[in-house]
Structure 1
Amino acid sequence: MSEESEVNRAVVTPARVVIALCLVAPFVAMLWVGSYSKIDPTFIGIPFFYWYQMLWVFISTALTMTAYKLWQRDQRARTSQGGGASK
């Protein structure tokens, strides 16, 4: 096996597992409708069904930003280790 193919090979690392969880969590939360398909508890007069989904907009933003920062760190580490691996 050549060095170049080893460097470009996909590797499962703990950082990449965390990245995947950050990106999958909002989908799971929104697709599991039974968990938030109710009116109570209300928040400033807004039923749970609506404010829960709006809360996930902000949570998803934070999780996506976290995943992006972890991905950048992982790519920098791989580049410095592998001597210029492509992105």
Structure 2
Amino acid sequence: MEPANPPPRHAWLRITLLLPYLALLWLPFYNDTEPSIAGFPLFYWYQFLWVPLTSLLIYIVYRWVR
């Protein structure tokens, strides 16, 4: 007899989606002005960097789980 709700196959992959959330939640890590890139302080470019990284991570998890 099979269990009613089998565990998800790749649950650990879905947990990796928390990485961007945690990286941006820890504000003291990137609340600084140096180093600056193209005139943008670390505080801004660090957040901008996570936009494509998060999209890439979502795509990878989607392709792997699907």
Q: TM-score range by the shorter chain?
A: 0.7 to 0.9
Q: How big is the shift at 1:12?
A: 5.0
Matched, 1:16 2:11: yes
Q: Distance in 2 between matches of 1:71 and 1:38?
A: 37
Q: Distance in 2 between matches of 1:25 and 1:41?
A: 23
Any idea what SS the aligned residue of 2:62 has? helix
Q: How big is the shift at 1:70?
A: 1.4
Matched to 2:28, the amino acid is: G
Q: How big is the shift at 1:16?
A: 2.3
TM-score by length of 2: 0.86
Q: Distance in 2 between matches of 1:47 and 1:58?
A: 18
Q: Aligned residue for 2:32?
A: 38
Match of 2:64 among 63, 70, 82: 70
TM-score by length of 1: 0.67
Unaligned 5+ runs, structure 1:
73-87
Number of aligned residue pairs: give it. 66
Matched to 1:18, the amino acid is: L
- Identify the structure with the greater helix proportion: 1
**What is the root-mean-square deviation of aligned Cα atoms in Å?**
1.6
Matched to 2:61, the amino acid is: A
Unaligned 5+ runs, structure 2:
none
